[in-house]
Amino acid sequence: MKWNELFNEHLTPSSKDIKDYIGAAEASWNNLTEYIENTYEAKPKIEYSRCSLQPGWNVKYKKNGKSLCTLYPMEDYFIALVVIGPKEQDEAEAAMEAGVFSTYVEELYKKTSGSAMGSWLMIEVKDGSILNDIKILINMRVKAKNVN
């Protein structure tokens, strides 16, 4: 059953509900959320979205009013949305050229159409192999004082 069918806008999921739904991706979820919370001192905010591309409850992280990422629970995995804004674009492209990112993230970046607001990367996290990529992208958005 789809996430937005299990938890409609009137039924807020708990952390346990989210972790149960993402299943085997729980370790990656925990790794990423702990990193964000510890590194940026950002608190998770569970919100409901009516967006037609990804409707349902999601978990947003912001620092000083700037979006770090939004996490979307999926059955047995999750999606991390990281926006590469115009200010981060040159740094992201230089890192791509230097081979910093996985092939998956490079290809996703190349095929994601940009806009005046940047490139919205919907990164599927099915295992821990791309967590470092996500952390680097988040750090491009908001520089961390102590990156782990």
pLDDT of 112-142, one tens digit each?
877 777 899 999 999 999 999 999 999 999 9
Contact indicator for 84, 92 with CB cutoff of 8 Å = yes
75's tokens:
């059955």
* Residue 99 predicted with pLDDT over 60: yes
As a whole number of angstroms, the distance between CA 71 and CA 53 comes to 14
pLDDT, tens digit (0-9, with 9 covering 90-100), for 44-63: 999 999 887 788 999 999 99
**Distance from C-alpha of 123 to C-alpha of 141, rounded to nearest angstrom:** 16
Task: Note the pLDDT of residue 50.
Answer: 86
The model's pTM: 0.93
